[in-house]
Structure 1
């Protein structure tokens, strides 16, 4: 064996030696935990400081207040940023939007999105291909309240190293602490993940958010999360969507957002009917059922379903710069589409551009695409079945049209043959 061959064998051995040692020691790749990427994500203190500086640079458009609440020695603070282009105009005359981010501590990407949306609203950043004149006409008619980080205490626990923490500073899931169907536990109930608290609104953060919602009386609410890609509407505690006109408008809006910005990859429908489990005591169900907000949504903006269960930072947040930027760009654009079409759907704005309605075929194709990416080849048979259903549905519609034509023709002939009535 020549010296060159011996050299390469030695290098291969060195490369493989650590792997052999780890395998011999029972190393489990699923135990790898991705740390927070500090090159991409700000700390909670830095993010809030940047938002406050943004507000101070644009006092004619932005304002900020910090709301506090205490319960049994546990205190929480929630910062609320208000966007309004004309402060002299009565708030009640404008279309009101309430957005909340960072309800779960581990979902860092959501608060980064809040900062991006505020930066675009203040015109320090711009969306590609945005028609600024058209958008400014839309924004003139809006007042938007943004909660960049609802669960500051929980976020601090994540930054201290508990990367899987979703609850607040004393271990309560804020999205189980609202009063609609509060405290009900499913068979797969996880007390660590879903602790609803000692009673509805026992937590200061939930008390503050309820106060904001009831006093502001928004027309549109969005609770922003991560863990998957989805555009959910009520209900979370049932596997159905509401009935009526408002439900139809919400469906039209999420379908438009899904195809306009995400090529149909997002799951849509009710949270309870689409995510795979029912959730009780959620904010969105309260906002829709009790606060009577006409449009209420839960957006899930990112999820890495290939991540091991314990690798929470990777599961809930983009870890590379390319994905990080794509998520912020795509969802920022989706929010500004929401700002444009939300008032139009509720009949509170005039616009020459109408909301794009999605056909049944497009909706089913997108539904299947999102399920296929989530569950793999198990849906191939299901897809074939739906293709047949679509074919039968088209035949049914065609038959109805033909029968209606024949019926109308028969009526016309009978009228021609009928004798005239006496004068």
Structure 2
């Protein structure tokens, strides 16, 4: 009897285990069928970061009369970054650049947005005349470009791009997990209710990241008349502000809005959203590059362009969401948006008129001692090629001495006040005057 019960229990347990395994197998198959596959990077369409930068170096080498290139380096707390800057400008005299309209373009600020760096390469090919714009007469284009100096940052976030290429296709932040488009000082650090640290980590302080430090110093030394920060995720032409539902007032708004409306009419076929970043996207972004460029650097025309987005892509399929995955769409995006930029190059001089260096707004804010010294010493490092370890050590020493100076000043003041107080108390009390 006992043996029969034992056998019955054993058979029941085996059946339950079999049933559980069967249900798990069905669930797994159902899960795999409902979950979309993740699109990998198509290296037949896209350059790797290494190959793209090598192609740019070769392009600059072939056209030294039109293009020059420099690599700017910075580091902070053990984390370093390099940013390559390509300058287009046909200089006739040593100071010719200061008499021309100055344009600063940044691509690849978010690592997962590979299409933006491909656009940077296409624009450089057209500037070198190795590729032509079929929609624009080359002689007319050259006449426009002769009046401009254009600085192109083809890949602002090289470290973040390497993380994406290593397999994390949704990574937008830099090599240590900071969103470079939240690391600038205008309204830095404010977090909305839907704040996601994976997407929007602003860093431990404004300009804590070497990439942001380099871009800040580049902008403040170059003083551009036009800034465009190029992203993907949708199709849009944004002006300030990102951190509030408001646009600039008066003449700046008129100029920027007029330019964007004409660009949209010529190139967007009503696909592009136009307005302030904060008022159009549906959420506020704090500590962005474009708000800093407009408010602090005083760039008369500061924009964020979004050049592509696939709204049908699943949330986890980031490569497809931010980048075209077939050649026809890839080529269309690059052709349309490169034509857009050269239309802007043509329109900006008419929109701004005769903008001289003096017409650029200057800083009208208090700058912290740390921020001032960061900028000053980094500029000297870039000019004289000092090693970054020396810069970091020098910064630490200067800050330490400055704080010691403040502390010693307070102590000396305290001792001085105490001495005066004691001297008053120790005076002999005069005797009563006799009657």
TM-score (norm 2): 0.74
For the residue of structure 2 that corresponds to 1:201, the secondary structure is coil
1:369 is matched with: none
CA distance in 1, matches of 2:35, 2:255: 43
1:303–1:316: 8 Å Cα contact kept in structure 2? Answer: yes
The match for 1:294 among 300, 325, 340 is 300
CA distance in 1, matches of 2:33, 2:198: 24
CA distance in 2, matches of 1:127, 1:29: 44
Residue 24 of structure 1: CA displacement?
4.2
Partner deviation per Cα, 1:198-217 (whole Å, 9 max, x = no partner): 00000000000000000000
Partner deviation per Cα, 1:354-410 (whole Å, 9 max, x = no partner): xxxxxxxxxxxxxxxxxxxxxxxxxxxxxxxxxxxxxxxxxxxxxxxxxxxxxxxxx
1:206 is matched with: 212
Quick check: 1:135 aligned with 2:163?
no
Quick check: 1:63 aligned with 2:63?
no
Partner deviation per Cα, 1:5-26 (whole Å, 9 max, x = no partner): xxxxxxxxxxxxxxx9898442
2:252 is matched with: 246
List aligned pairs for 1:129-208, cutoff 5 A.
129-208=135-214
Residues 59 and 289 of structure 1: is their aligned pair in 2 closer, same or farther, counting only changes over 3 Å? Answer: same
List aligned pairs for 1:24-423, cutoff 5 A.
24-88=29-93, 89-348=95-354
2:91–2:97: 8 Å Cα contact kept in structure 1? Answer: no
CA distance in 2, matches of 1:238, 1:336: 30
Residue 158 of structure 1: CA displacement?
0.2
For the residue of structure 2 that corresponds to 1:273, the secondary structure is helix
1:172–1:194: 8 Å Cα contact kept in structure 2? Answer: yes
Residue 259 of structure 1: CA displacement?
1.1
2:119–2:334: 8 Å Cα contact kept in structure 1? Answer: yes
Residue 144 of structure 1: CA displacement?
0.1
CA distance in 2, matches of 1:30, 1:224: 31
Residues 263 and 70 of structure 1: is their aligned pair in 2 closer, same or farther, counting only changes over 3 Å? Answer: same
CA distance in 2, matches of 1:302, 1:127: 20
CA distance in 2, matches of 1:238, 1:184: 11
For the residue of structure 1 that corresponds to 2:32, the secondary structure is coil
1:395 is matched with: none
CA distance in 2, matches of 1:313, 1:278: 24
1:30–1:308: 8 Å Cα contact kept in structure 2? Answer: no
Computing the radius of gyration from Cα coordinates, the structure with the larger value is 2
Residues 87 and 274 of structure 1: is their aligned pair in 2 closer, same or farther, counting only changes over 3 Å? Answer: same
For the residue of structure 2 that corresponds to 1:102, the secondary structure is coil
TM-score (norm 1): 0.76
Residue 134 of structure 1: CA displacement?
1.2
2:135–2:339: 8 Å Cα contact kept in structure 1? Answer: no
Residue 246 of structure 1: CA displacement?
1.1
2:83–2:156: 8 Å Cα contact kept in structure 1? Answer: yes
Residue 147 of structure 1: CA displacement?
0.1
